[in-house]
Amino acid sequence: MREITYAQAICEAMSEEMRRDPKVFFMGEDVGAYGGAFGVSAGMLNEFGKERVRDTPISEAAIMGAAVGAAMTGMRPIIEIMFSDFISCCFDGLCNQAAKTRYMFGGQTTMPIVVRAPAGSGTGAAGQHSQSPEAWICNMPGLKVVVPSTPYDAKGLIKAAIRDNNAVVVLEQKLLYRTKGDVPEGDYIVPLGEAAIRREGKDVTIVTYGRMVARCLEAAEQAKEAGIDVEVIDLRTLVPLDKHAVIASAMKTGRVMIVHEACKTGGFGGELAAVITESEAFNYMDAPILRICGADVPIPYNPKLEASIVPTTPVILDGIKKVME
């Protein structure tokens, strides 16, 4: 199987869907001639032209509003918010219109919008361009939320999102864009709402997503040297959440760690912990659920400080040992 980057997989997913369906088009800031801030859409303008790959003004509110209108009239827009932090600038269109319109119209209209947004820290982009805002978005009923961790999933999940008749927000951790992985040629989808067991184990369950998946797998391999067998679940989709996979693994191991890059207070990890404690898995727990999360601070510009506020492999390994005590 060929190996391509996460960014190439996303570009391929969008391009294949645009070839398949003339109603699909792409718009955002600098997505055309420039090829996107992270180079994801390089070459798409040459193939599809300015009608289907549209550069927009620097206004997230305008981009989102145009997408809502286009979706209501039968189109299937993909939009890119250059940095996920600025998704807050289009919350009215996203949360009051895209999320609710299908429900409020009794299904008489659909809202097939894909909102792609580079997220997370690690690029030295400082406090206003480095956040992980998934908890904001997951709190809004009517939106689906996807966080791919591999090139294979990036392509398959985005294709599934484009074909969905609801608004889907895809958060792409910026440091993953240059990572490589096996991606088959041709059409395939990864269904929304299905987690992946990246590593099977019997002692501890780690529930994670996005950039943290690789670090959790590294920590799990190191824990093996201490005789600890770790299961790693990659959620892939936060909404809808694969509760069955999480609960089944918690019941299997009796110990759970939740790892994410976003800050701990109000983070999605709290929801995951509640899902477990409110289920039959609670009766199987041999230790309290442990959350390993980002610090509750704005993302620093200084690279050493920036690196210190998100979970690292050694910190995750320490958490594994703690939950086993």
Q: Do domains 3-182 and 196-323 have the same CATH topology?
A: yes
Give the bridge partners for 170, in sequence order. Answer: 116, 146
Share of the chain above pLDDT 90, in %: 98
pTM assigned to the model: 0.95
Question: Which tokens in the block code for residue 168?
Answer: 């889907």
Share of the chain above pLDDT 70, in %: 100
Question: Exposed (0-12), middle (13-18) or buried (19+): which is 287, by Cβ within 10 Å?
Answer: middle
Q: 129, 159, 236, 291: which one is catalytic?
A: 129
pLDDT of residue 74 exceeding 90: yes
Find out if CATH 3.40.50.920 is the number for domain 196-323: yes
| pLDDT for res 52 | 97
Domain ranges of the chain: 3-182, 196-323
Question: Exposed (0-12), middle (13-18) or buried (19+): which is 186, by Cβ within 10 Å?
Answer: exposed
Catalytic residue list contains 129: yes
Angstrom distance (rounded) from CA 289 to CA 323: 8
| pLDDT for res 154 | 98
Q: What is the pLDDT of residues 188-231, one digit of tens each?
A: 999 999 999 999 999 999 999 999 999 999 999 999 999 999 99
Q: pLDDT-based confidence at 1, cuts 50/70/90?
A: confident
- The mean per-residue pLDDT over the stretch 136-158 comes to 97
- The mean per-residue pLDDT over the stretch 134-155 comes to 97
Superfamily name with CATH number, domain 3-182: Thiamin diphosphate (ThDP)-binding fold, Pyr/PP domains (3.40.50.970)
Angstrom distance (rounded) from CA 234 to CA 214: 10
- The mean per-residue pLDDT over the stretch 247-272 comes to 97
Average pLDDT of the chain, as a whole number: 96
